A and B are shown apart, each in its own frame.
Chain A
Amino acid sequence: MRLINQKVSRPAGFLLAAIPFAIVIIAYVSASGARLAVNPSDKLLPSFASMAEAFWRMATQPDRRSGSLLLWADTAASLARLALGIGISALLALLLGVPIGLIPKIRGLLNAFIATFSLIPPITVLPILFIAVGLGEASKIALIIIGTAPVMTRAIALAVSELPVELLVKAQTLGASTWQIILRVVLPQIWPKLVVAIRLGLVPAWIFLISAEAIASTEGLGYRIFLVRRYLAMDVILPYVAWITLIAFLLDRALMLSSRRFFRWAHLGGGGL
């Protein structure tokens, strides 16, 4: 049988998926063990035990300096920034993307501009951002918005322009105005696409969140990682990276599942990632 026709059973699929993870873990444990054998206080590749201990300390013991539980304070600060940034981006994507996708004159006005704007690497305009909105929370959220809104807007505009033209014609023969078409034809169909846009936008959003926190802040997941990097505390950094990955994964799954639940009609094709 050809390779492309060999199906994988559920348990075998699970094992297959576990292989790359197992390889990375085995490679890490052996490399870490080798370094720790030479120098028991090696900081570069700490053992799983010391990482678990550091993570537990960050999560349950008040910090010597600030008295707060660092992991939760950092997570709350970062998630608040992420939610605000991605929320505003989603709103912009909707407000701009729908007219761009539907109305030729607005597409003519904005399409080229947004396409150009989306190509600016956001980090390079950071000094301008500082001067425009200051060094506080606003600049971090603005960085996330600049990094994600253009791409999400284009995704929505594309989805709108790909709506079956029959639907629009049919609505018009029934006498719908442009405004009514937006409300009754376009928007209901665009919600699941917005969820997809948010899921895709979250990837760069995390990157910009972490970079923004590295530049000037007093708390946050990215702040902590860049702070303890100053003394090579990999026993804190690696669990934080795993924690960020876990949160990002759960957010993505939650968005996908809620889209399946609320917009079942959009997932009739089955599968999907």
Chain B
Amino acid sequence: MFRKSLLKFLPAAFAATLLLSAPAAEAAPKKDFKVCWSIYVGWMPWGEIQNSGLMKKWADKYGINVDIVQINDYIESINQYTAGEFDGCSMTNMDALSIPSGGGVDTTALIIGDYSNGNDGIVLKGAKALADIKGQTVNLVELSVSHYLLVRGLDGIGLSEKDITVVNTSDADMVAAYSTPDVTAVVTWNPLLSEIAGMPESYKVFDSSQTPGEIIDIMMVNTEVLKDNPDFGKALVGAWYEMMAIMSKSDSAGMDMRTAMAKASGTNLAGYDSQLASTAMFYTPAEAVAFTKDPKLITTMEFVRQFLFEKGILGEGAPSVDFVGIEFPGGKTLGDTANIKLRFDPAYMEMAAAGKL
């Protein structure tokens, strides 16, 4: 009887195995690609690139299909990309290093979209200087770019994380949390930031414009997939910069586009434009190429990887800060050159700048 039951169960076990083994991103020439994005001022263009048919236009040009999927939860979108469900995903430089690259998924920065230039900030209740944060309890999404910004801010005035108490607080509950009397200091991002800073007795004492170019928003793609399918990279870059050209104009086409993006992010044109104002968008490929080639990017990534290592985010088991290698233009690297998992490669943006797409 036992043997019989076992035999009956075997097919079920097999099916379960198949279910569990999500497909790893395949490294071979293929025709169908999927990239994902989540709501953030600098990534709203991806939604409109899909809706307006720009993506289809560029994908058709190279004879491929590219599906752009919106994921409601930012971290979930990165996890899905890391698990191999998507060939590309929008994320920050910091999260790219810690999640996919730290998880052994070789990832390339295909499009440097923008950097936060005031979109992330520290708000204190009833105090006007960052130094007043000393001894306070600070609510933020732990291990996020907010946490990074806080550490950078504290560094600048000779304080360290030991001088405060960090309370991990979900971004969804940040505004509600801030309206309670015992929450006196928060670090968060837009649109939450402007909402919280606009409350009475609240002062934005530090923001990312004081450490410009360090929180970078990027379309990251799987390096293997990109290597085997250059057309995938070309189609994405082509569609992106066509959208940039449209939305950066103040004519009616540009306004319509930005209004659509505003609506998709739950605000109106004025609200979206004010978020754009604290975002340094690279509307032309040439600006993005120059930013990628600037040696300052190496300094930034050095800060970022030290932060990640100290917080144990490069994997608790990472033996040293050099565990994951990062490659920059011109053959410069940080960390283990035998384990390069994050690559800043301006090649595709250069093609766009030279009009060769």
Q: Tell me, rounded to whole Å, the shortest Cβ–Cβ distance linking B143 to chain A.
A: 5
Which residues of B are found within 8 Å of A28, using beta-carbon distances?
20
Of the listed stretches A12-20, A152-160, A179-187, chain B binds A12-20
Report yes or no: A134 in contact with B16, Cβ–Cβ below 8 A.
no
CB-based nearest A residue for B177: A135
Report yes or no: A27 in contact with B166, Cβ–Cβ below 8 A.
no
Report yes or no: A236 in contact with B167, Cβ–Cβ below 8 A.
no
Query: Which residue from A19, A43, A135, A218 sits with its C-beta under 8 Å from B183?
Result: A135
Which residues of B are found within 8 Å of A44, using beta-carbon distances?
22, 79, 82-83, 103
CB-based nearest B residue for A131: B180
Query: Which residue from A45, A63, A231, A235 sits with its C-beta under 8 Å from B313?
Result: A231
Q: Beyond A42-B104, A218-B168, is A131–B179 a contact (Cβ under 8 Å)? A: yes
Query: Which residue from B2, B6, B24, B181 sits with its C-beta under 8 Å from A134?
Result: B181
Report yes or no: B104 in contact with A215, Cβ–Cβ below 8 A.
no
Report yes or no: A233 in contact with B166, Cβ–Cβ below 8 A.
no
Q: Beyond A16-B5, A57-B316, A223-B168, is A130–B103 a contact (Cβ under 8 Å)? A: no
Q: Beyond A27-B20, A126-B176, is A53–B167 a contact (Cβ under 8 Å)? A: no
The yes or no answer to B252 lying at the interface (CB within 8 A) is no
Question: How many A residues are at the interface, by size bracket?
Answer: 35 or more
**A134→B22 CA distance, assembly (Å):** 42
Report yes or no: A218 in contact with B165, Cβ–Cβ below 8 A.
yes
The yes or no answer to A26 lying at the interface (CB within 8 A) is yes
Chain B 283-330 residues near chain A, CB threshold 8 A: 310-313, 315-317
Report yes or no: B82 in contact with A43, Cβ–Cβ below 8 A.
yes
Report yes or no: A39 in contact with B316, Cβ–Cβ below 8 A.
no
Q: What does the 1/0 interface line of B83-105 toward A look like (CB < 8 Å)?
A: 10000000000000011001111
**A131→B310 CA distance, assembly (Å):** 35
Q: What does the 1/0 interface line of B172-184 toward A look like (CB < 8 Å)?
A: 0100110111110
Which residues of A are found within 8 Å of B17, using beta-carbon distances?
26-27, 30-31
**A217→B168 CA distance, assembly (Å):** 5
Report yes or no: A12 in contact with B143, Cβ–Cβ below 8 A.
no
- The prevalent SS among residues of A at the interface is helix
Q: Beyond A215-B169, A216-B168, is A35–B24 a contact (Cβ under 8 Å)? A: yes
Q: What does the 1/0 interface line of A53-65 toward B look like (CB < 8 Å)?
A: 1100100000111
Which residues of B are found within 8 Å of A233, using beta-carbon distances?
315-316
Chain A 96-139 residues near chain B, CB threshold 8 A: 126-127, 130-131, 134-136
Report yes or no: A41 in contact with B104, Cβ–Cβ below 8 A.
yes
The yes or no answer to A229 lying at the interface (CB within 8 A) is yes
Query: Which residue from B6, B177, B310, B313 sits with its C-beta under 8 Å from A130?
Result: B177
Q: Beyond A19-B5, A214-B170, A216-B169, is A64–B312 a contact (Cβ under 8 Å)? A: yes
The yes or no answer to B1 lying at the interface (CB within 8 A) is yes
Q: Beyond A65-B312, A231-B98, A232-B103, is A31–B21 a contact (Cβ under 8 Å)? A: yes
Which residues of B are found within 8 Å of A26, using beta-carbon distances?
13, 17
Report yes or no: A39 in contact with B180, Cβ–Cβ below 8 A.
no
Report yes or no: B167 in contact with A216, Cβ–Cβ below 8 A.
yes
The yes or no answer to A50 lying at the interface (CB within 8 A) is yes
Q: What does the 1/0 interface line of A29-42 toward B look like (CB < 8 Å)?
A: 01100110011111
Which residues of A are found within 8 Å of B2, using beta-carbon distances?
12, 15-16
Query: Which residue from A215, A232, A236 sits with its C-beta under 8 Å from B82?
Result: A232
Q: What does the 1/0 interface line of B1-42 toward A look like (CB < 8 Å)?
A: 110011001001100110011101000000000000000000
Q: Beyond A23-B16, A54-B316, A231-B143, is A40–B104 a contact (Cβ under 8 Å)? A: yes
Query: Which residue from A45, A54, A134, A231 sits with its C-beta under 8 Å from B99?
Result: A231
Which residues of A are found within 8 Å of B176, using beta-carbon distances?
126-127, 130-131
CB-based nearest B residue for A219: B168
The yes or no answer to A2 lying at the interface (CB within 8 A) is no
**A168→B164 CA distance, assembly (Å):** 61
Q: Tell me, rounded to whole Å, the shortest Cβ–Cβ distance linking A221 to chain B.
A: 13
Report yes or no: A215 in contact with B170, Cβ–Cβ below 8 A.
yes
Report yes or no: A232 in contact with B104, Cβ–Cβ below 8 A.
no
Q: Tell me, rounded to whole Å, the shortest Cβ–Cβ distance linking B338 to chain A.
A: 13
**A23→B99 CA distance, assembly (Å):** 30
Q: Tell me, rounded to whole Å, the shortest Cβ–Cβ distance linking B183 to chain A.
A: 6
Which residues of B are found within 8 Å of A23, using beta-carbon distances?
9, 12-13, 16
The yes or no answer to A242 lying at the interface (CB within 8 A) is no
Report yes or no: B168 in contact with A135, Cβ–Cβ below 8 A.
no
Query: Which residue from B22, B139, B317 sits with its C-beta under 8 Å from A54?
Result: B317
CB-based nearest B residue for A43: B103
Q: What does the 1/0 interface line of A200-222 toward B look like (CB < 8 Å)?
A: 00000000000000111110000
Q: Beyond A43-B104, A230-B144, is A38–B316 a contact (Cβ under 8 Å)? A: no
**A26→B337 CA distance, assembly (Å):** 36
Among B13, B165, B183, B312: residue with most chain A CB under 10 A: B13
CB-based nearest B residue for A38: B24
The yes or no answer to B350 lying at the interface (CB within 8 A) is no
Which residues of A are found within 8 Å of B6, using beta-carbon distances?
19
Chain B 135-175 residues near chain A, CB threshold 8 A: 139, 142-144, 165-170, 173
Report yes or no: B13 in contact with A227, Cβ–Cβ below 8 A.
no
The yes or no answer to A24 lying at the interface (CB within 8 A) is yes
CB-based nearest A residue for B313: A231
Q: List 21 A-B contacts (CB under 8 A).
A: A16-B2, A27-B16, A30-B17, A31-B21, A34-B21, A38-B24, A39-B103, A42-B103, A44-B82, A44-B83, A65-B311, A136-B182, A216-B139, A218-B166, A223-B168, A227-B142, A229-B79, A230-B75, A230-B144, A231-B103, A233-B315
Closest 8 CB pairs of A and B: A41-B104, A31-B20, A43-B103, A127-B176, A27-B16, A31-B21, A216-B169, A23-B13
